[in-house]
Structure 1
Amino acid sequence: MSERTADATERTTGIPSGTYAYVGIVALYAATIVLGLALTDEVAGMGLAMFQDPGDVGNVGVFAVMLLVATGVMVAAFRYGYGEALVRVFLLGSASTLTAVAFVALTGIGEIAASGSALMGLPTSPVSIGVAALTFVVLWVYPEWYVNDVAAVIFGAAAIPMLGLGFGPFPVVVLLIVWAGYDAYAVYVSGHMQELAAGLGDLKAPIVFVVPHSLDFSMRDPDFDLMGGGADDDGAVSADDQSAESPARAEIALLGLGDALIPGMLAVSAGAFLDAPVVVPALNANAPAIGALVGGLVGMAGLLYLVHRVEGAHAGLPPLNAGVLGGYLLGAVAAGIPVTTALGL
């Protein structure tokens, strides 16, 4: 909403103007992780763990290099204006492929190449290829915010177990700590996370959850500008900033998909590798896994409070990962698992 409309809504309902949008952001975050937990057994059965030795802490370094290289390539493309179309093709292709993985995991129809194959993670049957192709076309021709959000939940839910099954407790704890530090550096020091988020917004790729304050809002508007000309965000959670240069920027709340994927990995790893009774059979989740999920929601509440109270850009992963780690350890203690064991020490 614009500033004027948002103020009118708040006077009429007594509810802060950004509340509904932020509830939507929290719901998308939770849905991605919950669905990821629900798909874990199926993804494991398909042989799609990212790393075959989940106890190897070196996996953290490999994963970090992959993310840094991808980030560097995208930031360079956005900064210098070369290769943006190729970046969009790559992102939509990845999203479409992971959507096919989720479809096969949910329905049992179709095939995906397993680990050990040169085509690992790619659809290899007519049905799964068709799902990926249809997803790509829809995301390419109709990049509306709700289409992107649904797609991000679905393919993010496929990515979470693929990642989480590749990291045991100790490596994933190390990853969460290291990546929270990197996120803080990227936002508060180098500022390149803002460039990345702005570029992804221009491409209208489903890598950022976007929830508007009004259903009249459209990402397909030619004047849409996710970051408001680089106003004041980091691609994690937006402030309800009415001083942004772009009217569109004041109308949305947003959360980077990575801010759900990274914390969600610990919930999957806890359920897969810690010897504790399952407390939610539908999710195959034990107490540490549920603790990680709840702790992430607590971290989200802290992040939203920070965004509203402190002006400027804010990194999402430091509060989110802190909440996830705290909830995970509390869940482990509740399940009778020593903290040292939960930390992989």
Structure 2
Amino acid sequence: MSESPGSSTVDGAKERDSGVDSAGKTIDLESVLPYLGIAVCYLVTVLGGLALADEAAAMGLLLFENPDDVGNVGVFAALVVGFTIVFVAAVRYDRGMDLIRLFLVIAFGGLVAAAVVLATGFGSVFTENPMLAGLPSSPLSVAITLGTALVLWVYPEWYVLDVVAVVAGAAAIAMLGISFGPLPIVVLLVVWAAYDAYSVYVSGHMKDVAAGAGSMKVPMVFVVPTARGYSLRESGLGLGLEDEDENEDEDAENETDIENPATEDDPTPDRGEQPAMILGLGDALIPGMLAVSAGHFLEGAPTILSTLNANAPALGALAGGVVGLGALVVVLHRFEGAHAGLPPLNAGVLGGYLLGAVVAGIPITTAIGL
């Protein structure tokens, strides 16, 4: 489940009975692989954003003219929430789904084209106007955009979506990270963690977003199968959320078929087991922005990894994200269902960032942007 490009949640499967032995000590590797796959998608996306940030800054791919303006958080929030309202309405009333899917596959195609430009220098994107920043401006970039969109449209398998999400997410992290100074991005992480928790545990509208992502099959989430032979094209995300607002008795048989797909190797899967685990793309975008911002704006901290333009605060944010992801995995392992990803992730990222600032000799007030 995810909200692009903002907050998101994770949905985990129940552990298989064969995952733990009678003593509770032996864990089946197959039950661990989905968690590892999610972690890899997260890390590669954030690392990609760090690697592309220098080139994005050199090209002037700023989405806001004044990165230090806290008001940018309000603009960002308004855009994301506005899109979410339209998206949720389309899902609930089953109107305009194909149009929204077309918009999304083209948008992700544009981000892939931007990533290619930043990584290789081939093609070009608009850089002068913040309203157009990152959009393709050459025949090659347009071709990459349309080609990616076509692949997503005709063959939306889970691994295709994962590759596009990683590449597009890296470009988005690079551009967003250099567009938010320390204070705005700290405010954004705190506000968006609260919004993520509200959207999952209170309003529940993130479930509609997840249902839409499943039916549209767009790279708004990282998808890692928990069962062999799983196909996103044939089965959808199978979260058991699409029919939640319908009559429970009327849909019980359909929900069982979706949530507990039988395979040749496991014809009677555990009830409640999901065929795939997901992590919203926003769970990589929002925390990853702080790592990029730290490397770009905290000039007083010496660079440690030049290839990533990463100083101690940036590496601290990256490490903190890993810790936050680990905490999220523990929650997923212990509690079945959908959970807000950004509260533990953002807490870990902020903690690691501030610790890295202290190590680099940067005052906390400077790191926060005060």
- TM-score in same-fold range (> 0.5): yes
Q: Which of these residues, 323, 328, 337, is aligned with residue 298 of structure 1?
A: 323
1:103 deviates by 0.5
Offset from partner CA, 1:101-123 (integer Å, 9 cap, x none): 00011111111011327643211
Q: Which runs of 5+ in 2 are unaligned?
A: 1-12, 245-255, 262-272
CA RMSD of aligned residues (A): 2.2
- SS of the residue corresponding to residue 228 of structure 1 reads coil
**CA drift at 1:245:** 5.7
Which whole-Å CA distance do the structure 1 matches of 2:132 and 2:363 have between them?
40
Distance 1:5 1:268, change over 3 A: closer
SS in 2 for 1:39: helix
Structure 2 equivalent of residue 280 of structure 1: 305
Counting only pairs closer than 5 Å after superposition, residues 96-245 of structure 1 correspond to structure 2 as 96-116=109-129, 119-221=132-234, 223-230=235-242
Secondary structure at 1:112 match in 2: coil
2:274 aligned counterpart, secondary structure: helix
The reply on whether 1:22 has 2:30 as its aligned counterpart is: no
Report the Cα offset of residue 263 of structure 1.
Answer: 0.3
Tell me the equivalent position of 1:237: none
User: Match of 1:331, as an amino acid?
Assistant: G
User: Letter of the aligned partner of 1:128 in structure 2?
Assistant: S
Correspondence for 1:239: none
Tell me what 1:87 maps to. 100
CA–CA distance in structure 1, aligned partners of residues 14 and 64 of structure 2? 51
Question: Structure 1: how far apart are the matches of 2:294 and 2:130?
Answer: 27
Give the secondary structure class of the aligned counterpart of 1:124: coil
Change over 3 Å in CA distance of 1:303–1:108 after alignment to 2: same
Q: Distance in 1 between matches of 2:327 and 2:219?
A: 25
For the residue of structure 2 that corresponds to 1:55, the secondary structure is coil
Match of 2:347 among 315, 322, 333: 322
- Shift of the alpha carbon at 1:5? 11
Q: Quick check: 2:19–2:31 contact (8 Å CA) kept in 1?
A: no
1:231 shift after superposition: 8.2
Once the two structures are aligned, what percentage of the paired residues are identical? 55
C-alpha distance in structure 2 between counterparts of 1:310 and 1:6, whole Å: 14
C-alpha contact 2:294 2:314 (8 A) present in aligned 1: yes
Identify which of 322, 335, 342 aligns with 1:310. 335
Amino acid at match of 1:313: A
User: What residue number does 2:5 align with?
Assistant: none
Task: Give the AA of the match of 1:92.
Answer: V
SS at match of 1:211: strand
Q: Structure 1: any 5+ residue segments left out of the alignment?
A: 233-242
- Cα pair distance change 1:27/1:4, threshold 3 Å: closer
Matched, 1:263 2:287: yes
What TM-score, normalized to structure 1?
0.91
Cα offset, 1:201, TM superposition? 1.0
Q: Which has the bigger relative contact order, CA under 8 A and spacing at least 6?
A: 2
Contact 1:163 1:265 in 2 (8 A): yes
CA distance in 1, matches of 2:148, 2:337: 36
- CA positional deviation for 1:45: 1.9
Aligned 8 A contact 1:49 1:161 in 2: no
**What SS does the aligned partner of 1:254 have?**
strand
Alpha-carbon separation, structure 1, partners of 2:314 and 2:179: 16
Amino acid corresponding to residue 57 of structure 1 in structure 2: V
Contact 2:292 2:314 in 1 (8 A): yes
* Distance in 2, Cα, partners of 1:17 & 1:209: 18
Once the two structures are overlaid, the 10-residue window that deviates more, 249-258 or 26-35, is 249-258
Do the aligned partners of residues 308 and 6 (structure 1) sit closer, same or farther apart at CA in structure 2, a change above 3 Å counting? Answer: closer
Cα distance in 2, alignment partners of residues 120 and 282 from structure 1: 24
Distance in 2 between the 1:303 and 1:341 partners?
29
Query: In 2, Cα distance between the equivalents of 1:170 and 1:85?
Result: 39
